Amino acid sequence: MWDVFTNIRSCGRIICMKKADFYLIIAILLFGIIGLIFFNGFKEQGSVVTVYVNGQIHGSYNLNDDSEIEIIDNDNICNVIAISKGQVCMKYANCPDGICVNQGYIKNNNESICCAPNKVLVVVSSDIEGEFDAITR
Amino acid sequence: MPSRVNYIAKIGLLAAIGLIFSYVESLFPIPIGIPGVKVGISNIVTVVAIYILSPSAAFAVTFIRVLLAGTLFSTGIGIIYSICGAFFSLFIMWILHKSNRFSVIGISAGGGVAHNVSQLLVACITVESFKLLYYLPILLLAGVVAGVVVGVVSKIIVNRLMQVH
């Protein structure tokens, strides 16, 4: 079993990595790590929740006020967004995959919940002006 | 040169295995907030098909797998997501394979990253907002790690199958 790993460099009979593989993997890893550090440098507790439906702003809500927002599409409730204790989550979605519901609570700025089937996007930002900073930087 | 029937049978076999992998994957969704982002176990089948058959056979295998998995395990927009992801990743893997500079591991890492990036872009287009690009670094890292693991597994499988040939 161990020769799977020990032969990576020596181009042995099991795994044969070429030079280009190393460069590709290291380049992507670097991009990812730099991006992660860059984004997390701006990480802070958000205070405003903005809900977008079909790319249009549906409404902005204070993250510290507990509330439930219902999004209605064709007379049916398609999504319910719940804000409680400074966190926001997708409480209900009528789409079959339920990825947005499984994502749970988010609270930091720039974090988002996306429900693609209903084109609903929930974004946390530190303040309303902060949204422009997020675009320009 | 294997016979035509042999070739078709192998495509069918790989597509069937890929379908099972897709099913296993659909049981463990990754709660990262982007629809369609997966570990990419079914990518093993595509990589193996590129090596033991040909890139065009890999296209056939992917097409059959995505169409069947889409209609069986997801609905509506989910099919579009998986079609975009699978073909974009196949396209990148085909280019990497054609350049002749990469081994199985590099090709599969490139394919894994391409799959995740394409899912993110499709999600951005559907909700008409680029705020989701916040998740790009995490998806790059997840894609490359999963891609390398898939590549190691695929390499072992390709080696075994080459002995059978």
pLDDT, mean over chain A: 77
Q: Which residues of B touch A17 (CB under 8 A)?
A: 103, 105-106
List, for residues A60-101, the tens digit of each pLDDT value.
Answer: 888 888 888 888 877 778 888 888 888 888 888 887 767 778
B152/A25 Cβ within 8 A = no
Nearest CB to B136: which of A18, A35, A100?
A: A35
Q: Does B131 touch chain A (CB under 8 A)?
A: yes
Closest approach of chain A CAs to the CA of B5, in angstroms? 30
State both tokens at B27: 């049981």
CB pairs under 8 A between A and B: 126
Residue range B121-161, pLDDT digits in tens = 888 888 887 888 888 888 899 899 999 999 999 988 888 88
- The answer to whether A119 contacts B132, with C-beta atoms less than 8 Å apart, is no
| pLDDT tens digits, B5-27 | 988 999 999 999 999 998 888 78
pLDDT, one tens digit per residue, over B83-133 is 888 999 999 999 999 998 898 999 999 999 999 899 888 888 888 878 888
* Cα dihedral across residues A99, A100, A102, A103: positive or negative: positive
What ipTM was predicted for this assembly? 0.81
Residue of A nearest to B29 (CA): A99
The whole-model pTM stands at 0.81
| Alpha carbon distance A40, A54 (integer Å) | 28
User: Chain B: nearest CA to A45, how far in angstroms?
Assistant: 15
Measured CA distances, A115 to A21, A92, A122, B126 (Å): 35, 11, 9, 9
Sequence-distant (≥ 6) Cβ neighbours of residue A74 within 8 angstroms: none
